[in-house]
Structure 1
Amino acid sequence: MKITVNIDCTPEEARHFFGLPDVKPMQDALMQQIQDRMSANLQAMDPESMVKTWLPAGLQGFEQMQKIFWTQMNNAMGKDGKK
């Protein structure tokens, strides 16, 4: 025997039915604090430090790999470019 029960209710109604607390006011307050802090930090940063902060380490690693590659090429070909 198989019984299926469909309940049509909103998340707020389900929370109230199960006796769970409504945490939306707390979430709204925390999100506002986070937004205020992020705005203050962005205004305090200069563009160069923002780029360094936001640039993934992979791109910085790529730049280092490129420098190593060119150094190896220069060493292999000799200092004056001729072997």
Structure 2
Amino acid sequence: MKVNIEIDCTPEEARQFMGLPDVDKANAVYVEQFTKAMKGVSNLDQLQDYARQMAPMGQMGLKLFQDFVQASSRPAGGKTDKTDD
């Protein structure tokens, strides 16, 4: 048996329903600080250093985010550049 339930709600309503905290203010502060730090960036190496320092969970968080972006940019069901041995 297969049952599908569709719920139509906003992200804010879903957050409240699941009891998750409201992180809008914390996110705004984070984005503001990151934006200020990026204004002084003059080269790619400096940008990467700032990103590592500012990223949640440091280097590990940055790597997870990079992996997420790379995975989401692949076509659905598409082949990856990795081979299975």
Q: What TM-score do the two structures reach when normalised by structure 1?
A: 0.46
Higher helix share: 1
Structure with greater Cα Rg:
1
